[in-house]
């Protein structure tokens, strides 16, 4: 079951991250939310240490299917800010299928090691990132 979920996540993240890295011209819009200020899009987007493959392995290793939702499926869209030092903060659930999946996706992302921050003019900057975490059972 775990291997199946990992394979599905690998495929899904390759589609998502592949399109994210295809962007050619950076947009340097600064967004302020409360006290936090970050770049919405930078020259180099933040990334998980080791890249997309390492991120998919991290998710596959740490994601636990909520027992009460064994028959359910869906995708949680989770946003967060990658700070200049790579720490993840300001988590936000953009879409949830049910509260159990959202809580599990959030739990796993909070286990994440520091990311490689986005860069602007060669310097690390805080930026917002979004990842889909898919819960899917293949028959």
Cite the beta strand spans of the chain per DSSP E: 30-33, 36-39, 74-82, 88-95, 118-120, 123-125, 127-135
Structural domain tally of the chain?
1
Range of the domain at 118: 2-135
The owner of tokens 């659930």 is 93
How do residues 19-70 score in pLDDT, each as one tens digit?
Answer: 444 443 444 444 544 555 555 556 789 999 999 999 989 998 998 877 765 6
Average of per-residue pLDDT across 6-21? 53
- pLDDT of 74: 84
How do residues 113-132 score in pLDDT, each as one tens digit?
Answer: 999 999 988 899 999 999 99
- pLDDT of 88: 97
**What CATH number is associated with residue 64?**
3.30.1150
């Amino acid at each position: 079951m775990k291997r199946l979920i990992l394979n599905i996540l690998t495929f899904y993240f390759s589609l998502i991250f592949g399109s994210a890295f295809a962007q050619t011209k950076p947009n340097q819009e600064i967004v302020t939310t409360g006290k936090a200020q970050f770049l919405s899009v930078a020259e180099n987007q933040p990334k998980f240490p080791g890249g997309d493959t390492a991120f998919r392995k991290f998710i596959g290793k740490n994601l636990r299917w909520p027992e009460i939702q064994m028959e359910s499926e869906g995708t949680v869209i989770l946003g967060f800010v990658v700070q200049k030092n790579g720490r993840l903060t300001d988590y936000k659930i953009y879409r949830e299928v049910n509260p159990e999946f959202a809580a599990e996706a959030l739990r796993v992302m909070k286990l994440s090691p520091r990311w490689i921050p986005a860069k602007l003019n060669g310097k690390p900057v805080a930026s917002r990132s979004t990842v889909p975490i898919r819960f899917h059972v293949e028959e």
